[in-house]
Amino acid sequence: MSLVEEISKRRTFGIISHPDAGKTTLTEKLLLFGGAIQKAGAVKSNKITDHAKSDFMEIEKQRGISVATSVMGFNYRDIKINLLDTPGHQDFAEDTYRTLTAVDSVIMVIDCVKGVEIQTEKLMEVCRMRDTPVIVFINKLDREGRDPFELLDEIEEKLDIKVRPLSWPIGMGKRFKGVYSLYEKALHLFEPSKRMLSEGVSIDDLSDPVLDEKIGSNDANQIREDVELIEGVYPEFDTSEYLAGRVAPVFLGSAVNNFGVRELLDCFIDIAPIPKPRATEERVIEPNESKMSGFIFKIHANMDPKHRNRIAFLRVCSGEFERNKNYHHVRLDKAFRFSNVTAFMAQDKEVIDQAYPGDIIGLYDTGNLKIGDTLTEGEKSPYKGIPSFSPEIFKEVINMDAMKSKQLDKGLRQLMDEGVAQLFTYELGSRRVVGTVGALQFEVIQYRLQHEYGATCRFAPVNLYKACWIDSKEPKKLKEFVADKQRHIAKDKDGKLVFMAETKSWLQMVEQNFPEVNFHFISEY
Q: Read off the pLDDT of residues 453-509 as tens digits, 9 standing for 90 and up.
A: 999 999 999 999 999 999 999 999 999 999 999 999 999 988 999 999 999 999 999
Of 415, 492, 491, nearest to 455 by C-alpha is 415
pTM of the model: 0.78
- CA–CA distance, 288 with 358 (Å, rounded to integer): 11
| Per-residue model confidence (pLDDT) at position 524 | 60
Question: What's the burial of 374, exposed, middle or buried (CB within 10 Å: 0-12/13-18/19+)?
Answer: buried
Question: Which residues partner with 459 through β-bridges?
Answer: 397
Q: Right CATH number for 281-376 from 3.90.1150.10, 3.30.930.10, 3.40.50.300, 3.30.70.2190?
A: 3.40.50.300
Question: Which residues partner with 83 through β-bridges?
Answer: 13, 72
| Per-residue model confidence (pLDDT) at position 98 | 78
Q: Which SS3 state, helix, strand or coil, does residue 465 take?
A: coil
In the chain, CATH 3.40.50.300 covers: 3-271, 281-376
| Per-residue model confidence (pLDDT) at position 66 | 39
Whether the Cβ atoms of residue 313 and residue 71 lie closer than 8 Å to each other = yes
| Per-residue model confidence (pLDDT) at position 1 | 79
Q: Which residues of 51-83 are buried (b: 16+ CB within 10 A; e: fewer)?
A: bbbbbbbebbeebbbbbbbbbbbbebeebbbbb
Strands (E) across 115-161 are located at 134-139
- CA–CA distance, 59 with 91 (Å, rounded to integer): 15
The sign one gets for the Cα dihedral 204, 208, 210, 214 is positive
Weakly modelled stretches of the chain, pLDDT under 50? 38-57, 59-68, 88-89, 91-92, 196, 198, 346-347, 525
| Per-residue model confidence (pLDDT) at position 41 | 47
In the chain, CATH 3.30.70.3280 covers: 387-524
Superfamily name with CATH number, domain 3-271: P-loop containing nucleotide triphosphate hydrolases (3.40.50.300)
Q: How far is CA 216 from CA 144, 208, 211, in A?
A: 20, 12, 7
Q: How far is CA 395 from CA 47, 95, 406, 439, 457, in A?
A: 38, 20, 20, 10, 12
Establish how many alpha carbons lie within 13 A of residue 270's alpha carbon, considering only the half-sphere containing its beta carbon.
12
Q: What is the CATH number of domain 387-524?
A: 3.30.70.3280
174, amino acid identity: K
| Per-residue model confidence (pLDDT) at position 112 | 93
- CA–CA distance, 256 with 41 (Å, rounded to integer): 10
- CA–CA distance, 88 with 82 (Å, rounded to integer): 19
Instruction: Tell me the H-state helices in 381-525.
Output: 405-418, 440-453, 475-484, 504-513
